Amino acid sequence: MRLAIETVRLVDPAADMDRVGGLYLADGRIVGVGAMPAGFVADRRIDGRGLIAAPGLIDLCARMREPGTDGALRVEMRAALAGGVTGVVCPPDTDPPLDEPGLVRMLRQRSREAAGARLYPLGALTAGLKGEALAQMCTLAEVGCVAFAQTGALPDQRGALLNALRYARTFDLPVWLRPVDATLASEGVAGEGAVAGRLGLPAVPTVAETVALHTIFELQRATGRAPVRIHLCRLSTAAGIELLRAARNEGLPVTADVSILHVHGVDADIGHFDSNWRLDPPLRTARDRAAIRAALADGTIDAICSDHAPVALEDKLLPFGEAGVGASGLETLLSLVLDWAQSENIPLLRALDRVTRAPARVLGEDTGTLLVGRKADVVLFDSAERWKVDDGALLSFGKNTPYLGSELAGRVRVTIVGGEIRFERAAAEASA
Amino acid sequence: MVNPQLNADGELHHLLSLDGLPRSIIERILSTADSFISVGSREVKSVPLLRGRSVFNLFFENSTRTRTTFEIAAKRLSADVFNLNIAASSAAKGESLLDTINNLTAMQADLFVVRHSQGGAPHLIAGHVAPHVHVINAGDGRHSHPTQGLLDLYTIRHYKRDFSALSVAIVGDILHSRVARSDLHALLAVGVPDVRAVGPLTLLPDGLEALGVRLFTSLEQGLRGADVVIMLRLQNERMGGALLPSASEYFRKYGLTPEALRTAKPDCIVMHPGPMNRGVEIDSRVADGSHSVILPQVTFGIAVRMAVMSIAASSTRFR
């Protein structure tokens, strides 16, 4: 398949490029940017006028519900493509957890069959994610795990955690951690502050994050002069971001992400117990959100993820504290990133960096760019087209998004993975 | 944000929380309650306002006292009352919660009185009942107990007449108390100028100062010059845990004794939502003493609940 996308606005953060030109793909790779390469004969031409071509989005956390629900991966992969996401990192908190090579092989096989986005599985850091015994990290890495994660709070057994970090360091395997101290987070369901106080919801204090970060950095230092590489998942507090900044200045090899919902939402959005805002970490104050936005702007936080978590409707139709946790996010990620960029006056190049080049770097992948010679993972979208987020529009099993019923700008038209068009959506009928 | 308690005309349709409830509605409830006070002392203790209507008491969490006062209130309004005690374990599924509501609505319920261990459960139910059905929150988690807040307000108004120059101290486990939250919103809504929360730092929630509440960790200072003292029940499970070392130490620091009450105004009133832990948060000499208005609270509670039910039930058009 030789594909020519012509007269399109090319936006590639890795190349610092934002200009109109052509994009030429052949044999799964990008073969030309700007002008058509000599002798290129396209099998298909796409008129890119009015559209943006960018590297496909790389989502550092999307739960595909498999293993656990047969057939779910295929559905969620469609949702990923519909959201312009060409790479998804799957956390290991599946059912059962991804701590066995056989499970990872099966997942990758199903992913190939689903022909969706590229799959980047995270292996469990500890057997069964129990925080006690080490998982077979080397074996899991050999079958395709890109890093090793403890998905919930930090294990209570800090000795086991230190050993896991040292073992991972031995083989230069990156470790992904959630900075949450379980005993401090306790039974909390909302961020500490006036809103939790007013609603009487048990709160997760800020110190649950900062104490965990102090612990993580201390244990990281204890892995040696060239410490283990750590990626911090879902930072949520201003105080936590300050600790991250200090750790980076010190030279610790640490990267971090934040969920797009924490770029937008604050605790007051919970309103009258809206369970679609029941998230983990919980929404925090406007001050924390401002710190998250500042840290994204200056690069202290590397990447934005969707933190996609499809939840059945009946599990959200519960009182806030009992409701299922998380939000469906693959299909709203791009629109919400554009919304953030617009509201903060951030250039498109810089905004897209947080969902393309930056997450690719966290993964150590050479995707997330339109450079000639790289894998042809591309999204083509109309940044102005508005769409309504509703049950019918969302392909994911999860209709649980706080944006349900809202109108967002930015609609994906074509998603290309490895040079192959895997998703295509016609332009809206009523074009303005 | 739309207030889920009001209909399109701004009338009370559900009573879920006092947070954000307009002062005009609160005052209407209080004045309507006035007219019901005498009903209880008459030979025929009922008025026909809710004749033919069905009131379902849905208690997902046990409470004989509150359920009984709602039952009495509904019967005095001539409603048909049905009591359902639904043992809600923490594992109970909301599926069954809403299924229960749908089933009961199909039985032609007009008004649900809901108590639930989870904050927001009455909001969830109110969001899913048929448009003509009303929901009254009888206590949800740590969030709200609006009829208690209103009856406390009624009691204060009865004894103090005017809210505009009062100092009111709420003492005890504010963090876990839905009564405290409702009282605070009620007092602030009607313009009480000095609202205080008194307790150890382990039992004071975030954000009170932002609402305009003054915080005190010393009982003596918190009670100084107070016109009204509202004592909160200390749940047994809080004692001897990570929040408080023991009941006896709590009593020494925060128990309301005649000596402790000395810094308050000489004509102060002492309130308690009940049931009381004598010797834990309150000394019997105070509970049974001349300042105590704890029993009148119960009497007023019935009139206030009648007022709430009759006002909500008279709102029919919903958005």
Structural domain span for residue A306: 56-363
A406 and A279 share one domain: no
A-chain CB neighbours of B98 within 8 Å are 317
B62 and B82 share one domain: yes
For residue A319, give the nearest of B116, B128, B207 by CB distance: B116
B261 inside domain: yes
A368 inside domain: no
A9 inside domain: yes
Q: What angle do CA A130, A132, A135 make, to 5 degrees?
A: 80
| Per-residue pLDDT band at A297 (split at 50, 70, 90) | very high
Q: Please answer yes or no on whether A201 and B119 come within 8 Å at the CB atom.
A: yes
pLDDT value at position B90?
40
pLDDT value at position B42?
86
From chain A, which residues contact B within 8 Å (Cβ)? 192-203, 271-273, 275, 314-315, 317-323
A47 inside domain: yes
A115 inside domain: yes
B140 and B239 share one domain: no
Give ipTM to 2 decimals: 0.90
| Per-residue pLDDT band at A279 (split at 50, 70, 90) | very high
A346 inside domain: yes
Q: Please answer yes or no on whether A200 and B143 come within 8 Å at the CB atom.
A: yes
For residue B208, give the nearest of A197, A272, A320 by CB distance: A197
A161 and A202 share one domain: yes
A101 inside domain: yes
**B97/chain A closest Cα distance in angstroms:** 8
A173 inside domain: yes
**Which residues of chain B, if any, have pLDDT below 70?**
1, 87-96, 240, 316-319
B179 and B255 share one domain: yes
pLDDT value at position B87?
66
Strands A254-259 and A303-305: parallel
Rounded Cα gap, residues B7 and B14, in angstroms: 9
Taking only the tens place, the pLDDT of each residue in A16-67 is: 999 999 999 999 999 999 999 999 999 999 999 999 999 999 999 999 999 9
A47 and A24 share one domain: yes
Contact B209, B148 (CB under 8 A): no
Q: What tokens appear for B191 in the block?
A: 């313009």
A351 and A380 share one domain: no
CATH (domain of B160): 3.40.50.1370
Strand partners, A45: A4
Measure CA B279 to chain center.
23
B1 inside domain: no
Residue A155 pLDDT greater than 50, yes or no: yes
Taking only the tens place, the pLDDT of each residue in A57-86 is: 999 999 999 999 999 999 999 999 999 999
A-chain CB neighbours of B197 within 8 Å are none
B126 and B175 share one domain: no
B76 inside domain: yes
B87 inside domain: yes
A64 and A121 share one domain: yes
| Least confident span in A253-267, A283-297, B29-43 | B29-43
Rounded Cα gap, residues B136 and B102, in angstroms: 16
**In chain A, which residue's Cα lies nearest the Cα of B205?**
A197
B214 and B230 share one domain: yes
**In chain B, which residue's Cα lies nearest the Cα of A192?**
B206
B-chain CB neighbours of A199 within 8 Å are 119-120, 143
**A256/chain B closest Cα distance in angstroms:** 29
Structural domain span for residue B308: 23-144+301-314
A65 and A49 share one domain: no
B160 inside domain: yes
**In chain B, which residue's Cα lies nearest the Cα of A271?**
B1
Where a domain ends, among A363, A383, A398? A363
B-chain CB neighbours of A198 within 8 Å are 19, 181, 207, 211
Sheet harboring B54-59: ordered strands across?
Answer: B80-85, B54-59, B111-116, B134-140
B17 inside domain: no
**A197/chain B closest Cα distance in angstroms:** 5
A204 and A261 share one domain: yes
Q: Please answer yes or no on whether B119 and A197 come within 8 Å at the CB atom.
A: no
A307 is annotated as an active-site residue: yes
> Which residue matches tokens 């009133």?
B269
Q: Which secondary-structure segment (H or E) carries B36?
A: helix B23-37
A113 and A26 share one domain: no
CATH (domain of A278): 3.20.20.140
Q: Please answer yes or no on whether A318 and B207 come within 8 Å at the CB atom.
A: no
Q: How many domains does chain B have?
A: 2
Q: Does B20 touch chain A (CB under 8 A)?
A: no
For residue B119, give the nearest of A193, A273, A317 by CB distance: A273
**In chain B, which residue's Cα lies nearest the Cα of A318?**
B94
Q: How many domains does chain A have?
A: 2
B277 inside domain: yes
Q: Does B211 touch chain A (CB under 8 A)?
A: yes
A347 and A399 share one domain: no
B179 inside domain: yes
pLDDT value at position B62?
83
What does pLDDT average to over chain A? 96
**A271/chain B closest Cα distance in angstroms:** 7
Where a domain ends, among A340, A363, A386? A363
Residue with the larger pLDDT of the pair B237 and A94 = A94
N-terminal to C-terminal alpha carbon distance within chain B: 15
Q: Please answer yes or no on whether B118 and A322 come within 8 Å at the CB atom.
A: yes
B287 and B153 share one domain: yes
User: Helices (H) and strands (E) in chain B — how many of each?
Assistant: 11, 9
pLDDT value at position B45?
85
Residue A386 pLDDT greater than 80, yes or no: yes
A181 and A304 share one domain: yes
CATH (domain of A10): 2.30.40.10
Instruction: Categorise residue A211: left if φ over 0, alpha if ψ from -120 to 50, beta otherwise.
Output: alpha
**A180/chain B closest Cα distance in angstroms:** 20
Residue A354 pLDDT greater than 70, yes or no: yes
3-state DSSP call for residue B99? helix
B37 and B161 share one domain: no
Q: Does B243 touch chain A (CB under 8 A)?
A: no
pLDDT value at position A432?
40
Q: Please answer yes or no on whether B211 and A198 come within 8 Å at the CB atom.
A: yes
B269 and B309 share one domain: no
B98 and B159 share one domain: no
A381 and A296 share one domain: no
A397 and A359 share one domain: no
Where a domain ends, among A315, A331, A363? A363
Q: Please answer yes or no on whether A273 and B98 come within 8 Å at the CB atom.
A: no
B157 and B279 share one domain: yes
B286 and B151 share one domain: yes
Handedness of CA A162, A167, A172, A173 (dihedral sign): negative
B123 and B232 share one domain: no
Distance set, CA A109 to CA A61, A88, A112, A141 (Å): 20, 15, 5, 16
Contact A117, A56 (CB under 8 A): yes
Distance set, CA A26 to CA A23, A418, B250, B269 (Å): 10, 9, 76, 84
Rounded Cα gap, residues B201 and B215, in angstroms: 10
